[in-house]
Structure 1
């Protein structure tokens, strides 16, 4: 990859074009640091880079490089100040001081147990004690104290810089560090920033910070934490705090991804959402904090339209077959995601692989199989959303007004476009109206509009990690399309003018300006002016002919009321009678926002309004004001809607939950409307009321399942747990979500009655076999269950119990369960017999192992016999070694080391198998040798290394041998032999020991790596036919196109072999002209490059001075997953040779 900063800086320094300042400032908290470019040099370099870039843009747009690599590095979020300065956050801690769980999967259990950021702090301090193994492996001695420990995590600080164009020539020529701060061991990366009213708000877990520059020297004088408690878990990098913006009522809004939050606000109220993402808001001083929406995975950024509706795109869960989701978030909404649906229980042998998010169809737009408690997506939408903004009303051209803009970040400029889209009303919510791709060929991060109407965006350039490079681009229409209109010039002037000098009438007039930023600026200024300001708002709200002016006036009155202005509360009551439905809706919304009492009668009357939007906000206000008299009217309105409008339905659940009348909700159990009963269930769930148990008797299984979700999931409702468990055998259920939760409830109850329920369910052969097997698995792990919930995966902690009663009850029926019936139930029964140590089953298991016709049963029986320490185990193992099935023989080989067979005898068996057995048997034999103690086995391993070095050992067992030798790490002679082999191998194969992954893999295990491994995350970028992501090439038929070596190289060194259509080159011609593009074809005479949406260029080889391939955005899996997993992945990919069947 071309290293622009080095080249640019050297060139500029050579011509004395840069002034680099780094000197301490006496009166500042932060050290001054700035870079100044010669304007001509800056413009020349920007033009040069722009010419090199292969970028596709819509025909009516033009793209210019505004700030080059020499003054921008690793920009994440950006915020454009009214004077045109662009503030941006720069990732500094990402590489050495912040962790991604995918690189530390052994931390998963601990991380999932965290409830607060202090839990994470304690974990990091214990994990990184001085110079222990973890510290030596993962830390650098950043504080130079000669010790590696958690204190090294407190050295690196996050940075905020601003960039500006001092000369006004359209290219940035100056940058200054605004602050360098935030560096505790629990500090995340700064993913969010907003400049507002002279302050800079920075989102960097665990805090939202407010920075100020009192002396206007461009350097922050200090910071204040407004909210604390974000980033509870160690999760996916990039899922931290982000999206800082100013909302319609002057509050600061931001969000965090699914690494969660647990915040206590300034009034002492606790907001506990440790396992999900949230969108939150507070006043600029940190007061009036509240969680607006929860259940998001990683919205990154969101935006408000001209009516204050919050639109965003939420990231998907990286599961095969799902995509990101376009969502309209409403107050109190739960959009369903939990971090425990990403990882945790899925790698726990005591648990199962049931995924609520996927198995219950929650990742999709609304469908009949989904739960009722969450707000579904509008639709599945673009991948990897990062920056998102809304056109303020004058930016670009009229063709782009009332549109949102969202950046896709997929790690590669080849497939990370910026989209423009618009929304249209759909009942109380919205639907996607249309969308276009407007820019493609860069790697955009944050977006924001400049005061002159251009769209600016950060550019990560390539890849996922920091690289000390970055850019900021400017997108606009041409002059003939409106870039230099008088309106846009006026907006720029108004944004920089001092509104404190304006009188109230002029400010009131600006409430109706076409540009949203001007309207907000006028609104916020009037809100500072006490009685005069409120009267101005009141007059506009009541008498203006401009709808948007009236709406901003309503928001302004709300601001003033919330900040303590007590006069004029009746203003909203008057507006509830307005002829304009939107004005009524906004007034109702503000009443609810303020929790203003005295409007119940009017609001209840509006529940019958013809506008769904009015009905929605009237209902929301009644919920926020907790009007108990509104329960029946709300229910009546929702009964009539019958669940057709998802926003009305969800808003109703939120409102009824807030009102909190549990008795009224319980009494709806007899309501004839299924939708009404569902509303009651979810409302009771939100109250955490045990009264929800009444709905376990519902005649409709879907309603019962929803009640089961309410009781079992998240923090659970303990008072209703036994009623749920006791429903297991109440009817012949068919709903898997319900049955699983009833089984799990029995585990949670944990008493003898719960055991009776599970045993009864297992013993009933008319019940679904997979669910009987699940109940058996729950019984089998009864004494020491998984620390994770068997359904939703939430961390439940260690729950050890006595096994006496479960052993007694299960022992009486286990023989028949083992002997006959569905194979899954039999296997589960065998596992339960071993885990519960049912010694009385050993004779039966021995018979099964030797005589059963199903090899899975024979293999499972052998494992159980080993765990039960069967008295005749040695003979059984010898019998299994002669079994007609390879799987059984392999299992026996793996069990030999722990058996009573002498190591010398076991070694002889292993030697014979390696020489004469199948590939699978030889691999199992080596797996056994890895665990076999004694000199005999180690001597055999030494012989085998010699055979491998001499080329006399089959390649399909090379990796197994290497792993076996590495397992005997105490034998220095063996390790020397292996090192010598590796050294010799490197002379002819630069893959080294990784070459052992070329052969011998298991394609079925590789399938699991591809689709399920949360560290490899293959389907995040790749699909096989239609299943998976579309960032990288589709891998259907890849086994035909690439050899195993090519596949392995692409996995561990992705930049060495790029797929067609994904290779970007930077070409320098003999005349020093430079261009970039995607390689179309190569011949000895020409290099053909795609340089635009449809344009290609054939470049004669003779004209090319230098050709440089930019690195792949695909991260290597080397060191992240094991060599064995890599081998299995290669085997799976190699098998992909046919067409879709």
Structure 2
């Protein structure tokens, strides 16, 4: 798809010059589909649910259509379907092929992707033949008996099943030809003899789909634009395309929009930085929009205005970034966030870190945007005038739909209005309007993969379909437009159906000078606004065609020659601002230099839309003399309207006057310097490095972004040096501000002598006892690491310093829950946030449920607050934070806010220091880490970079891009010397998180910062287990006797984690104590120690056979603790013949044919809920939160996981992962099947066990 107003006449015969990529005509099969169609009961059991008042019917179903991805309708009412049988059967996905991820993100061309397939061919059944077993194709469906429904199917073209092919996801019918996007090619096909089979097959361009990325992120969105050009899109699989004139379009990591003339010439990039713009659609004014998918990382799907030259900011490299840098800048810098001026119903504040080089989304719409179409004007109720219809594909009928939405102008952009479900209970891949007044919707049939299924539905208004104008539309398209006289065509420019208007426009434009004056009269003086707009567009087509014919190498107009665009010059003074905007855009595209002076004046027009189009037009004209007008526009805008700023910046970049841009960089007005840095980014101008020292933070940050992200490697030393801005000497940690008078916190602790749980607060016996300790606090955080095996309660009141919406957060180790009252009365407390497992100290946003929804508070009013906390062993802490309506964050409440505004700059400068890799940048990183005023998360980032110094990852630490750092010339001894000297003070830092991190870094590097301090930490039972473990590791390289002292202390300690780490170190040191210690721990320790001991025994070889044999025998007899079953099984399943292997084989033999019984035996106990939580939230193949929500974060295509542990026991939870169809939640039944795949093919046994453990905590 997509042809919302297809097909159209050719604008000019000159458009159809032969392509250099033409291949010989090809015949495809017999033209008969391999599956004979069955009779269709058109109205029987039609499942879809349109809005009230509309009729519905089933038009076609499998086998008449089979796995429909997209469709179009030609002027005779014939349907063409792009079908795909290759989903996960030749068209793969990095989530299910994680083994090649690094190869994929390293790919720069489709040839690289083919080499990757060949490298990993052994992973596929049948090797490379696997990729061609199934096919994509184009099916043609025609109504031959005249009943209004197609019943005849022919195979129009196919198979498309080369290894690099697929998915075939876009299709457009245009005056007898079919355009078809099937990675890596844009195809042109033609049925020359009318038998329903394409004999002619030609590549218009090739090189799309550099990477695999995610399935469905294909090439699609074919649509004819207001200018007669063909537009289409590609997802973030990228492109490496050489155009017919030799230009290279290259970006292997982003989705984009392209356009070309119908003959394939003038291929160009129009918009970029998209994730998966499945479909494109123009409104009545020539503005282009798309729906773009979310990344399942807490972000939202978006409705995007594709303004020429713009960027959305997505990179495929972000997709697999998790943890503290989840999705990289996309999440960390709020690229996908909304603006309150564009979406006031959803956004209350501007994202402080949203990059200026990106264009923001208009709104968060849908969850799985797919097909998109604009209402042509006839057939539906008046409410839908100027509305779009967007498919929301979520894997199952009951939660998927077609949405309707409108737009209203806001400045130079738009806001979404009237968004609502239009058709429910449908799994839509595409939507389009027929020429018969009906809306048609293709349905995938269920799930996410191919499977011989599919339907086509129709929706219509029974009263309005009788409108005689609809019958006229049908007749006009069947008869065609080329033969009509010009007066009739001129009258059709005012038709109610936009498709008719555009066909008339194209036909008039194709007649050249014979219709220029007629079009000029209509453009200047017609009473109908729509007629004037189409006349302007037609004049633009004529002017562009004339420009190509006269001097294709010179894009400027030869002023002595008559120019059709001149008719638009007077319209620049029109009273209607839309007419001024349309004229400005057309004159720029036509390169009409005579318009430059007036366009300069329009840069100060009262309409922001006019100003934007005037600036862009001046850029296309290369009008250097009008740069002051553009700059003045930018100054007045003062960065307030991002679309207007983009227009000005893009204009300056097109003009390319580097001297003027340099002058702009010296302006005292910050918004003008911002324009300079953004323009330099577009031009890759090395002078951008000077802005690293700009007095404005946002400008410095844009320079840092450009240097790291593009990248501009020659400027990397300057970026690294900019870290010095954040280095201080002798500063002390900033003391917390005094709490407002109304804040009051009391923390009470009950020591239990066992692992505490939140359920203990419901135990009347425990709560009847007085607290073991009580602390009065001035901030919302208690002392850290006060002990083990307790529960604590922090309660009190907070006073709101501002009126507005607050976001409350909680952080703890282990579990906690936060409640906030609607008044000072504790009886009004309501649970708002929680921590499951643990969060790192001072980190309040690592889990979806840590932060509340907005809570409205009134300035000066007091509100009750309560935090309940449970602690087992290891580190412990409890803190409460909030974000004020002003955007200020207090972490914890009452503490001076942490300024995160420099994090993006710091992160990039740290990466630059690592990449430069010399002693100076190592010293700079150390100094940064030693500066206590720097935020803890960034100090940890610097320490992590130092730890990776000799073995850095091949991925950029900021954005995940594949960038190999050459370490062959690095002086390891000098580096270790610098760190040993510089970082020693951190071994006894007041911040336990920093202490732990520096110990871990020292251990990885192989240095001992302060052996005495490390030994003291190992012996200090009051310290968190993690810190004691990292200190033990730090001593591994110690050459003295401290390591032996530390090992003895660790083995005798009360910490299971420390004892287990000591045993692992004994194994690595080939210490004779290892085997007996591990054998004993495997039988008598707690579960954590026993599991760890079994794992270590499995690495030791034959000497551990006897110890493992005892455990394997227990497994065979059925007496082994179920929490150890998987560990023992994994330890013995691949060992050589012996008693261990015999017991394992005997145990598993009866379970070989019963997957559920096998998992029941291995995965119901012993999992780690913390690891399980990470899998549910972040696993790239399982993508649980794509469909399931957890504490408000995630999708809505499946039941929320909150409370899932109350729905059944652990076996119920396990079976739901292995066999999702065993029991489907109420409200999510979909023809008896679930769209969720079985996790046994996606997760390892250990991962499934961990997920079960996590799900068991969701009560």
TM-score interval, normalised by the smaller of the two chains: 0.7 to 0.9
| 2:582 is aligned with 1:586 | yes
CA change 1:654–1:1117 in 2 (3 A) is farther
Residue 364 (1) aligns with residue 337 (2):
yes
In 1: Cα distance, 2:687 partner to 2:1149 partner: 70
Q: Distance in 2 between matches of 1:895 and 1:984?
A: 38
Alpha-carbon distance change, 327 to 772 in structure 1, aligned in 2, over 3 angstroms: same
Matched, 1:65 2:231: no
Name stretches of at least 5 consecutive residues in structure 1 with no aligned partner. Answer: 1-25, 140-147, 1066-1109
> 1:432-581 alignment to 2 at 5 Å?
432-478=416-462, 480=463, 482-563=464-545, 564=548, 567-568=562-563, 569-581=565-577
Q: What SS is found at the alignment partner of 1:810?
A: helix
- Alpha-carbon separation, structure 2, partners of 1:896 and 1:172: 74
Q: 2:316: which partner in 1?
A: 339
From the superposition, tell whether residues 212 and 252 of structure 1 become closer, same or farther in structure 2 (CA, over 3 Å). same
Asked if 1:257 corresponds to 2:257, the answer is: no
Quick check: 1:211 aligned with 2:211? no
Task: Work out whether residues 1035 and 1042 of structure 2, in 8 Å CA contact, stay in contact via their aligned partners in 1.
Answer: no
- Separation in 2, partners of 1:893, 1:757: 37
Displacement of 1:617 in angstroms is 0.4
**Counterpart for residue 911 of structure 1:** 1079
Equivalent residue for 2:616, pick from 613, 620, 641: 620
Q: Is contact 1:354-1:791 (8 Å) kept?
A: no
1:115 aligns with 2:146: no
Assess, with a 3 A threshold, how the Cα gap between structure 1 residues 864 and 932 changes in structure 2: closer, same or farther.
farther
Q: How does 1:668-687 map to 2 (within 5 A)?
A: 668-687=664-683
Secondary structure (helix, strand or coil) at the match of 1:167 reads coil
Give the match for residue 34 of structure 1.
Answer: 32
Distance 1:232 1:354, change over 3 A: closer
Q: Which residue of 1 aligns with 2:1096?
A: 928
Shift of 1:674: 2.7
What's the secondary structure of 2:141's corresponding residue? strand
Q: Give deviations 1:927-953, integer Å, cap 9, x for gaps.
A: 11222222x323332332221222211
What is aligned with 1:900? 1070
Task: Give the structure 2 partner of residue 223 of structure 1.
Answer: 201
CA distance in 2, matches of 1:953, 1:884: 25
Per-residue Cα deviation, 1:365-384 (whole angstroms, up to 9, x for no partner): 13232121111111211110
2-structure distance, mates of 1:720, 1:773: 25
State how far apart, in whole Å, the 1-side matches of 2:140 and 2:272 are: 32
Q: 1:308 aligns with which of 277, 280, 286?
A: 286
Task: Name which of 636, 639, 642 aligns with 2:638.
Answer: 642
Separation of aligned partners in 2, 1:988 and 1:177? 42
> Is residue 975 of structure 2 the alignment partner of residue 806 of structure 1?
yes
Aligned to 1:602: 598
Cα distance between partner residues in 1 of 2:1249 and 2:244: 54
Q: Which stretch has the larger CA shift, 416-425 or 590-599?
A: 590-599
Instruction: Compute the displacement of 1:666 (Å).
Output: 3.5
The answer to whether the 8 Å contact 2:25/2:200 transfers is no
Aligned length: 1036
| Counterpart residue number, 2:1125 | 958
Tell me, in whole angstroms, the C-alpha distance in 2 between the residues paired with 1:593 and 1:818.
Answer: 64
Q: Determine if contact 1:894/1:927 at 8 Å carries over to the other structure.
A: no
Partner of 1:727: 722
CA distance, structure 1, for counterparts of residue 514 and residue 1146 of structure 2 = 86
Q: Are 2:930 and 1:946 aligned?
A: no
- Alpha carbons of structure 1 residues 784 and 869: separation in structure 2 relative to 1, 3 Å: farther
Q: 1:700 to 1:987 in 2, by over 3 A?
A: closer
Q: Does 1:760 align with 2:927?
A: yes
Partners of 2:378 and 2:437 within 8 A in 1: yes
Q: Distance in 2 between matches of 1:70 and 1:779?
A: 60
Instruction: Name the SS for the 1:67 alignment partner.
Output: strand
Structure 1 residue 859, shift from structure 2 partner: 0.7
CA distance in 2, matches of 1:1064, 1:194: 31
Equivalent in the alignment of 2:328: 355
Q: Is structure 2 residue 384 aligned with structure 1 residue 391?
A: no
What is the SS of the residue equivalent to 2:414? strand
Tell me, yes or no, if the aligned pair for 1:82 and 1:450 is still in contact at 8 Å: no
* d(CA) in 1 for partners of 2:515, 2:133: 47
Query: Contact 1:38 / 1:173 at 8 angstroms: preserved in 2?
Result: no
Alignment partner of 2:1143 out of 964, 977, 987: 977
Name the residue aligned to 2:264: 286
Q: Which residues of 2 match residues 69-88 of structure 1 at below 5 A?
A: 69-88=62-81
TM-score w.r.t. length of structure 1: 0.87
Q: Indicate how the Cα distance of structure 1 residues 681 and 989 shifts in structure 2: closer, same or farther if over 3 A, else same.
A: closer
Contact 1:279 1:292 survives alignment (8 Å) = yes
Quote how far apart the aligned CAs of 1:29 are. Answer: 1.1
In the alignment, what sits opposite 1:1074? Answer: none
Do residues 887 (structure 1) and 870 (structure 2) align? no
Question: SS of the residue aligned with 2:266?
Answer: coil
8 Å CA contact 2:270, 2:308 repeated in 1: yes
Residue by residue, what CA displacement relative to the aligned partner does 1:84-103 show, whole Å, maximum 9, x if unpaired?
A: 11111111222321110001
CA positional deviation for 1:472: 0.6
Using the TM superposition, give the Cα deviation of residue 413 of structure 1 relative to its aligned residue in structure 2, in angstroms. Answer: 0.4
Structure 1 pair 333–835 and aligned structure 2 pair: CA distance change class (3 A):
same
Name the CA distance, whole Å, in 2 between partners of 1:767 and 1:988: 56
CA distance in 2, matches of 1:604, 1:544: 26
* Corresponding position of 1:746: 913
Structure 2: distance between partners of 1:701 and 1:582: 37
**Aligned partners of 2:451 and 2:330: how far apart in 1?**
35
* Per-residue CA distance 1:849-897 (angstroms, 9 max, x = gap): 3347332222112334447788775664454232221221232344443
Q: How is 1:703-718 mapped onto 2 (pairs within 5 angstroms)?
A: 703-713=699-709, 715-718=710-713
Structure-1 separation of matches of 2:327 and 2:90 = 34
Residues 405 and 420, structure 1, Cα contact 8 Å, conserved in 2: yes
Cα offset for 1:183? 2.7
Long gaps (5+) in structure 2 = 1-23, 340-349, 551-561, 728-898
Deviation at 1:405, TM superposition (A): 0.5
**Helix, strand or coil: the match of 1:34?**
coil
Residue 1013 (1) aligns with residue 1011 (2): no
**Residues in 2 aligned to 1:578 and 1:512: alpha-carbon distance in whole angstroms:** 19
Q: Rate the CA distance shift 1:859–1:489 in 2: closer, same or farther, 3 A.
A: same
Structure 2 residue matching 1:728: 3-state secondary structure: helix
How do 1:373-452 and structure 2 match up within 5 A? 373-452=357-436
CA separation of 1:986/1:106 partners in 2, compared to 1, >3 Å: closer, same or farther?
A: closer
Q: Map of 1:1071-1086 to 2, 5 A cutoff?
A: none
Deviation at 1:663, TM superposition (A): 3.6
Distance 1:896 1:203 in 2: 60
Contact 1:897 1:933 in 2 (8 A): no
Shift of 1:993: 3.9
- Tell me, yes or no, if the aligned pair for 2:78 and 2:142 is still in contact at 8 Å: yes
Q: 1:831 aligns with which of 1000, 1007, 1017?
A: 1000
Moved more, 661-670 or 1031-1040: 661-670
Give deviations 1:897-941, integer Å, cap 9, x for gaps: 323124xx533322211221111111111111222222x323332
Distance 1:94 1:491 in 2: 37
Give SS of 2:202's match: strand
Which residue of structure 1 aligns with residue 254 of structure 2?
276
Aligned-pair CA distance for 1:841:
5.5
Alignment of 1:693-708 (within 5 A): 693-708=689-704
Q: 1:870 to 1:317 in 2, by over 3 A?
A: farther
Relative to 1, partners in 2 of residues 1:897 and 1:1062: Cα closer, same or farther, differing over 3 Å? same
- Secondary structure of the residue aligned to 2:477 is helix
Instruction: Look up the match of 1:1106.
Output: none
Q: What is the alpha-carbon distance in structure 1 between the residues aligned to residue 1038 and residue 309 of structure 2?
A: 53
* Equivalent position of 1:201 in the other structure: 179
Alignment of 1:645-656 (within 5 A): 645-656=641-652
Over 3 Å counting, the alpha-carbon distance change for 1:252 and 1:870 in structure 2 is farther
* 1:1113 alignment partner in structure 2: 1235
What SS is found at the alignment partner of 1:483? helix
Do the aligned residues in 1 keep the contact of 2:283 with 2:386 (CA within 8 Å)?
Answer: yes
Query: Counterpart of 1:1128?
Result: 1250
Contact between 1:336 and 1:362, CA under 8 Å: does it hold in 2? yes
Question: Are residue 1048 (structure 1) and residue 1214 (structure 2) matched?
Answer: yes
